[in-house]
Each structure stands twice: as structure tokens, then as C-alpha cells.
């Protein structure tokens, strides 16, 4: 693509993150191109060109199914909304570099020779592992307030420090993040918490800079909430939460978010019991409801919200696993998303007492269940219940689940016994029954 632009007489350079990653010796996720060609000229050169931001000089070109962002060299003029400039002026590579966010993202590379064009000191800061704004930090952040979060994200993902003046500006201007859309905040937060074991440091930076109070006040409220030292020698609830994220090396956003939010209910439920010990009654279901509210506020996908809700709600079921009835334990081990539940439990243990005995036992039991024949099906169906005179309703599911439990425990072995089991426990048909209504 860059070759074609050059053949047409335009300057074309790799820009931004792909250059940074190349210099770090890591594989770039995508390639952005900066060019002297105007948006109209770019669109004229390529058949599949989408003008996603032509007014700002940005065109997406699709080559072999792969999208590339092609942006005309520009400088931004004015800007009052904390996101977009009022207008742009097309210019050259040097001026284009000066309007970018951080020095490590402001370099260009010649795609043919590999030469680096660095007008902002990016190579020096890359070597020093420093995140520094290009020019005045306050001005850069006022131009686009999402950069406040991006500073933390890059420091987290790259494991860099934030240069003092840049750090001070983030702290000073942190309240401005409230003007940024929920979707943009969501995307940065996801990258911070799901960053290959660095999410705990990222949450710490958010707390130190004041950004955590602005975007996740419910998580900030965990700071200072005490834990019983016997079970949590690591410290308070936020410290424990950060340690979970430091342990997580996966790539499942829902697990990372559940690790962040699993104890969110401890702040509103915290008290000292009559023995003077820390207590957080029903913090798991309270936390699950809070997690849903938070994730909806940040516009997370419905499926992600549903998964996190269940992960948070059930994370305290693990200590009772050994004492569960056989049928209930089997159902727990065979639940949807079991691997995510197992991983959250591991993280929870690693971040406090480090006792993984239940984790290992559950893995063994699940392996045994996976080797068994298909799961037991109820000996009766909903149609059978209707034929017996029961009125259809949501509670049919409860009746059939209880029947399966009885089958698993050997109490019921054939359809006749199944009918007797149901009629003995639920209102008789001549009483105009509603399925699931217990017999008196």
C-alpha cells in the first residue's frame, strides 16, 4: 500500500504504534500509514477505501481483507470538546508528529529502508521506558481527554513509568475524563485490566492519579476496606483485587473484569460482627448486582455482562463445594463457563491464602465427569407433567431439576418412580396445581 502511494508521487510512512512495537521487538497488531496524499487522492488510488474521518484526513483502505488506516499529515486547529479539533490543516510529517499524544507513539518509519524519523524524542523515551506527552501535557490532555486514561494504559501495557510532568497533569486534570464517552472509557479500561499480569499495577496508577474515583468509584471504595489477616495476609480489599489482576495471564475480558469486580460488594456490606471480626454478608450477590450496573454504565456487550454477573455471584460457592449434595456439586461442576469460574477461583486463592486444594480437586472431578456418558436427563418431560395434570409454568424447570437430582442420588430409577416422586412433592392435579408449588 505504501509502495502504491509512493509510486503515485506521495510520501508514505508507517506511523505510531506499529513503529513503537517494531523498535521494541514485538509484533505490531496493525499498521497505520501517514501520507502526504489528501483523502481524495487516497480514495482515488484504492478501490476499497472507506472515509471514516475524511474531514480529519483519515481513510480506511482494505487490502486482501485487511484494513489499514491511512491518514494525511495534518496539524489540529482549535478544539473545545475534549475530543475533536475544530478543524485540521494538511501539512508535513514533522508537524504531524507534533500533534500526536505521546513521544513513543510519535515516530515514523520508512517502509522501504526501515529508517526511523523521530521528531519528538520517541526513541530516547522508548529506551528509558517512559511515557511522556509531546509538548505541554495539559494542552495534549485538553485536546483529547481520553489521553488521561491512555497514559495509564500505555504505562501499564508497556510496563513503563509516566514522566513526572505528564503524571502531574493526569492527576490535575483527572476529573475531565467524565466528558469522554462511556464506550471510549470502556475500551481503555479493558486493555488496562486485561494486560497480561499488569492489570494490578494499572489499577494502582488509576487510583494514584484520581482516575479510579472518576471512572470506577465503586472499585476506589475498596481502598482501605480491611480484610481479616488470618485469611487475607496481603492487605485490604483493593490490594487483594490488584493481586488477582497481577496473577491473571489469560486473554478473556470477562475473567479479567470479574477479577476486578469480584469483591465489589464488600465495601457496602462491610461491618464488624459481634465478635469484632470483619464481615461482608452476602457480598457476592450484592457485588453481582453492582457489577451489572457498572458494566451497563460502561456499555459492555450483553454477553460479557451476563458472564461477569454469574462469575461474581458464584465466586463464594467454592468453599462449600466439598459439602454440597452430589447432584448439586455435579451441576456446579458442569455449569456453563466452568473454566472461567475455575480460573477466577484460582486467582482468588493465589491472591490470599494460596491454598489450591479445592481448585485441584474440582479439576479432577470435572475430568471424571467429562469421561462419563452424557449428562443424566430427567425421566419425565414437560409434556409428561402436563399429561399428569400440572399447569405449565416457569417452575417446571425446578421440578425437573429436582427429579434429576433424585435420579443422580439413586432415589428414582424409572418413569413410574419419577411420577410418584413428583406427585408426592407437589400439589395434586385436582388442586389446580401450578408446577413447582410444594405440597402442603
Q: Tell me what pLDDT residue 83 has.
A: 66
Q: Tell me what pLDDT residue 63 has.
A: 84
Q: Tell me what pLDDT residue 81 has.
A: 61
Separation CA 355–CA 358 (nearest Å): 8
Q: Tell me what pLDDT residue 391 has.
A: 81
Rounded to two decimals, the pTM is 0.84
Q: Tell me what pLDDT residue 336 has.
A: 86
Q: Tell me what pLDDT residue 80 has.
A: 54
Q: Tell me what pLDDT residue 439 has.
A: 47
Q: Tell me what pLDDT residue 51 has.
A: 84
List domains and CATH numbers for the chain: 1-127 (3.30.460.10), 129-215 (1.10.110.30), 219-314+336-363 (no CATH), 382-431 (no CATH)
Render each residue's pLDDT in the chain as its tens digit; 440 residues. Answer: 778 888 888 999 999 999 999 999 998 888 899 999 998 899 988 888 888 776 778 899 988 888 889 999 998 876 656 666 777 889 999 999 999 999 999 999 999 999 999 999 999 999 999 999 999 999 999 999 999 999 999 999 999 999 999 999 999 999 999 999 999 999 999 999 999 999 999 999 999 999 999 999 999 999 999 998 888 999 999 999 999 999 999 999 999 999 999 999 999 999 999 888 899 999 999 999 999 999 999 999 999 999 999 999 999 999 999 999 988 998 899 998 999 999 999 999 999 999 999 999 999 999 998 887 766 789 999 889 888 888 887 788 888 888 988 988 889 999 999 999 988 888 655 555 544 454 44
Q: Residue 382's closest CA among 404, 400, 407?
A: 400
Amino acid at each position: 500500500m505504501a509502495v502504491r502511494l509512493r509510486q503515485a508521487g506521495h510520501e508514505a510512512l508507517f506511523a505510531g504504534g506499529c513503529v513503537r512495537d517494531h523498535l521494541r521487538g514485538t509484533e505490531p497488531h496493525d499498521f497505520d500509514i501517514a501520507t502526504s496524499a489528501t483523502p481524495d487522492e487516497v480514495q482515488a488510488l484504492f478501490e476499497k477505501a472507506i472515509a471514516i474521518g475524511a474531514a480529519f484526513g483519515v481513510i480506511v483502505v482494505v487490502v486482501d481483507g485487511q484494513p489499514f488506516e491511512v491518514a494525511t499529515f495534518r496539524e489540529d486547529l482549535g478544539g473545545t470538546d475534549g475530543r475533536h479539533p475544530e478543524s485540521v490543516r494538511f501539512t508535513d510529517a514533522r508537524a504531524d508528529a507534533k500533534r500526536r499524544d505521546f513521544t513513543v507513539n510519535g515516530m515514523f518509519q520508512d517502509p522501504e529502508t526501515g529508517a526511523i524519523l523521530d521528531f519528538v524524542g520517541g526513541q530516547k523515551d522508548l529506551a528509558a521506558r517512559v511515557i511522556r506527552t509531546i509538548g505541554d501535557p495539559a494542552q495534549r490532555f485538553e485536546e483529547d481527554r481520553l489521553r488521561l486514561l491512555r497514559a495509564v494504559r500505555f504505562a501499564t501495557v508497556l510496563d513503563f513509568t509516566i514522566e513526572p510532568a505528564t503524571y502531574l497533569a493526569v492527576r490535575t486534570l483527572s476529573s475531565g475524563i467524565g466528558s469522554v464517552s462511556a464506550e471510549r472509557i470502556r475500551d481503555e479500561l479493558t486493555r488496562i485490566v486485561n494486560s497480561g499480569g499488569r492489570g494490578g499495577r494499572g489499577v494502582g496508577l488509576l487510583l494514584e492519579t484520581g482516575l479510579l474515583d472518576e471512572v470506577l468509584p465503586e472499585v476506589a471504595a475498596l481502598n482501605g476496606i480491611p480484610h481479616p489477616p488470618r485469611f487475607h495476609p496481603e492487605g485490604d480489599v483493593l490490594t487483594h483485587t490488584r493481586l488477582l489482576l497481577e496473577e491473571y495471564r489469560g486473554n478473556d475480558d470477562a475473567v479479567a473484569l470479574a477479577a476486578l469486580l469480584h469483591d465489589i460488594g464488600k465495601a457496602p456490606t462491610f461491618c464488624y460482627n459481634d465478635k469484632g471480626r470483619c464481615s461482608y454478608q452476602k457480598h457476592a450477590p450484592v457485588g453481582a448486582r453492582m457489577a451489572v450496573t457498572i458494566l451497563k454504565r460502561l456499555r459492555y456487550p450483553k454477553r460479557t455482562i451476563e458472564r461477569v454477573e454469574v462469575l461474581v455471584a458464584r465466586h463464594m460457592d467454592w468453599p462449600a463445594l466439598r459439602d454440597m449434595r452430589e447432584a448439586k456439586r455435579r451441576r456446579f461442576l458442569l455449569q456453563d463457563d466452568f473454566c472461567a469460574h475455575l480460573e477466577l477461583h484460582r486467582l482468588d486463592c493465589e491472591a490470599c491464602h494460596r491454598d489450591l486444594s479445592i481448585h485441584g480437586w474440582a479439576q479432577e472431578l470435572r475430568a471424571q465427569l467429562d469421561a462419563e456418558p452424557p449428562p443424566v436427563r430427567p425421566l419425565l418431560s414437560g409434556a409428561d407433567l402436563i399429561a399428569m395434570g400440572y399447569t405449565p409454568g416457569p417452575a417446571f424447570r425446578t421440578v425437573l431439576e429436582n427429579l434429576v437430582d433424585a435420579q443422580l442420588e439413586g432415589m428414582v430409577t424409572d418413569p413410574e418412580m419419577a411420577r410418584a416422586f413428583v406427585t408426592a412433592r407437589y400439589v395434586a392435579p385436582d388442586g389446580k396445581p401450578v408446577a413447582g408449588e410444594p405440597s402442603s
